[in-house]
Amino acid sequence: MNKLDLIKRIFRTQVKRHLTQFIVIFLFIIISAVATSAVAWLLDPAIKKIFIEKNRTLLVIIPALIILAFVIKSISTYIIRIKTIKISFNIIKNIQILMADKILKSDTSFIISKHSGKFISNFTNDTQILLNVINGIAITSVKEFVTLIALLGLMFYQNWQLSILAIIMIPVAAFFSKKFGKRMKKFVNQSLQASEVFTKFLSEILKSTTIIKIFQKEDKELDNFKNVIEDRVEKMTQVERTRLGATPIMETITGIAIAIVVFAGGYLSIKDEIEVGSFFSFLTALMLAYQPVRALASVNIGINEGLIAAKRIYELLDNQNNISNDPKKNNLVIKNKNIAFENVSFIYPDGTQALRNITFSIKGGSTIALVGKSGSGKSSFINLIPRFYNISEGKISIDEQNINEVNLSSLRKEIALVSQETVLFDDTVEANIRYGRLDASKEEVLAASKNAAADEFIKELPNGYSTIIGENGVKLSGGQKQRISIARAMLKNSSIILLDEATSALDSESETKIKYAVDNLIKNRTTIIIAHRLSTIKNANKILVLSDGNLVSEGTHNELIEKSELYKKLYNQEIVE
């Protein structure tokens, strides 16, 4: 997407909706420009009538008019700034909502392909730069341009010969502005990438504090962080150095222009071809005019900076999902809770083959266990059922309904997941359980907690169900977090349960309680378990043995002990992944 297309898109998608407010701003910009020009114009009669003709009446009127012009200008500027800030904040708010919506609804493969720090950088660094451009550059450029036109009009009215001399330097200013703008584009891109690395690194060390401490790598990580920070500061310094580099050049150009005008004006004054009042009025207009010239010279730099940030944002927004909810599709209708895999193969976006030609049927209400070495395809197997990924070949159906042809929302409504990596929110215990079904009553939350063997320990927490559990439940033990996760799944009351290593985080003391919780969770539901505890595997109605993405054997525990060497080996080693 080139610069012009990007500007058009920003206008079409973000600016156009605020067009009425921009018109109001533009009106006040005109008022401000006229007031600025009026100050310069009033110097002519001030010098003639007050200093030369000694007019006492105008001695009061002209200063009063100058004050009035400044008051009008200041009020107009205030209104312009307030309205601009409101619009720019609303635009950034809308963009951040769009980004949040995109991330929440993006395919799992897209989310895991990017570091979380990149998304955080999009939300913070990129939007802040875009905010600065909208708030400080876009409106400012219009304001300064209109002011420049008004002042140039006054200058040509006063003396067109001097005006031509004065504006000779404007193309020179434009040349340097373009040159600095190109350099800015390169450095801003490097700066944003450095900020992204900074955010990624910060995210990593915050999530890895215990590992860093146990391996005593605090100093090493501090050195790494210093390098990241130093690189970021260096890139940011390059941006500011480029931005400020235009200032001395613009000031020099301004000085040359004023010097030329003073020389020419003085020459005309000596020849009595220009009045002193007119000349000073013209000179004031010129000095006021070069303020917008300097501002406009930096606009190209600022716009390039903002467009780079906008491009990064739109790269996120333009990501196309392969899996999305289509309300036009029929809802999944649960009858018997049967699940069937027909010649299912799955390849990850990076080309890794996870499953090969899997054909298997699961009877509704039964419990199926998946076993196999790490990387055999167990997690991929269960991730395909709620369509976290699309299968590459074959067909998965629930009660003879192809999951690709039903409404995605209705499909996921019927599936609950309890994962090895329990995800909890920095909220109350009750809020985390209620996440399974937000409209659940207090009684239903309590019932789910009791069935998950969680009610007893929850009551012992400082504030019971109102206890804030910290980021990802940091204040709870692994077993406690898992039981809250099971209670959440129970509250959802889905027809299909997926347990991905759901008991691996539990200590032996919690074994009985968690078995009770799992038994309550899977009762009368179709359940697929990636099991760690051998007792869970032995109780399954059927066990599937996977190896390198292939279904190599199936049967009950006793049957597999007899006929599957791989299963027997895993069982004997007590390594069931």
Instruction: Check whether 507 has a pLDDT greater than 60.
Output: no
What does the pLDDT look like over 299-323, one tens digit per residue?
A: 666 777 778 888 888 888 888 888 8
**Dmax of the chain from CA atoms?**
120
C-alpha to C-alpha distance for 432 and 434, rounded to whole angstroms: 5
Please give the pLDDT value at position 384: 93
pLDDT confidence bin for 375, thresholds 50/70/90:
confident
pLDDT at 297: 63
State residue 503's pLDDT score.
58
In a domain, 272, yes or no: yes
pLDDT surpasses 60 at 576: no
**Can you read off the two tokens belonging to residue 413?**
């409504």
- Nearest Cα neighbor of 36 from 332, 284, 214, 248 is 284
Mean per-residue pLDDT over the chain, rounded: 83
Strands annotated E in 311-412: 339-347, 353-362, 367-371, 393-398, 401-402
- Specify the 3-state DSSP secondary structure of 419: strand
Least confident of 79-88, 108-117, 439-448: 108-117
What was the pLDDT predicted at 292?
76
d(CA 510, CA 424): 19
Residue 528, classed as helix, strand or coil, is strand
pLDDT band (50, 70, 90) for residue 59: confident
Strands 367-371 and 496-500: unpaired
Strand 393-398 with 339-347, pairing = antiparallel
Tell me the backbone φ, ψ of residue 370, rounded to 5 degrees: -110, 130
Domain count, the chain: 1
- Return the higher-pLDDT residue of 112 and 536: 112
Domain that holds residue 210: 89-317
Residue 179 lies in a domain: yes
Per the domain annotation, does 514 fall within a domain?
no
Length of the chain: 577
Distance between CA 464 and CA 458 in Å, rounded?
Answer: 5
CA distance 444 to 430: 11
Best mean pLDDT range from 237-246, 275-284, 538-547: 538-547
Q: Residue 168 in contact with residue 288, Cβ under 8 Å?
A: no
pLDDT of residue 433 exceeding 90: yes
Distance CA 389, CA 540 (A): 26
Q: Under a CB-based contact definition with an 8 Å cutoff, are residues 394 and 344 in contact?
A: yes
CA distance 90 to 92: 5
Other C-beta atoms lying within 10 Å of the C-beta of residue 43: 20
Model-level pTM?
0.75
- State yes or no: pLDDT of 229 exceeds 50: yes
Residues 6+ away with beta carbon under 8 Å from 411: 332, 386, 387, 398, 403
Residue 532: pLDDT band (50, 70, 90) is: low
What integer is the mean pLDDT of 429-448? 92
Helix axis angle for 3-10 and 276-317, nearest 10°, is 90
Q: Is 98 a residue whose pLDDT tops 80?
A: yes
The average pLDDT across 212-238 equals: 86
For residue 140, give both structure tokens: 């400012």
- Identify the pLDDT of residue 178: 67
Tokens, residue 536? 């869970």
* Within-domain flag for 236: yes
Asked whether the predicted pLDDT for residue 352 surpasses 80, the reply is: yes
The torsion angles phi and psi of 349, rounded to 5 degrees, stand at -55, -25
* Location of structure tokens 């390098």: 227
pLDDT tens for residues 396-421? 999 999 999 999 999 999 999 888 77
3-state secondary structure of 146: helix
Structure tokens that stand for 378 in this block: 């167990």
Q: For residue 178, give the CATH number of its domain.
A: 1.20.1560.10
**DSSP secondary structure letters along 188-202:** HHHHHHHHHHHHHHH
Best CA proximity match to 395, nearest among 358, 444, 437: 358
> What is the spatial order of strands in the sheet that 401-402 belongs to?
353-362, 339-347, 393-398, 401-402
More confident call, 547 vs 114: 547
At 504, is the pLDDT very low, low, confident or very high (cuts 50, 70, 90)? low
**227 contacts 268 by C-beta, under 8 angstroms:** no
Where on the phi/psi map is residue 407: left (φ > 0), alpha (ψ -120 to 50), or beta?
beta
Which backbone phi and psi does 350 adopt, to 5 degrees? -85, 0
416: left (phi over 0), alpha (psi -120 to 50) or beta: beta
Give the pLDDT score at 195: 84
> DSSP per residue over 331-356, as a string?
PP--SS--EEEEEEEEE-TTS-EEEE
**pLDDT at 350 (0 to 100):** 82
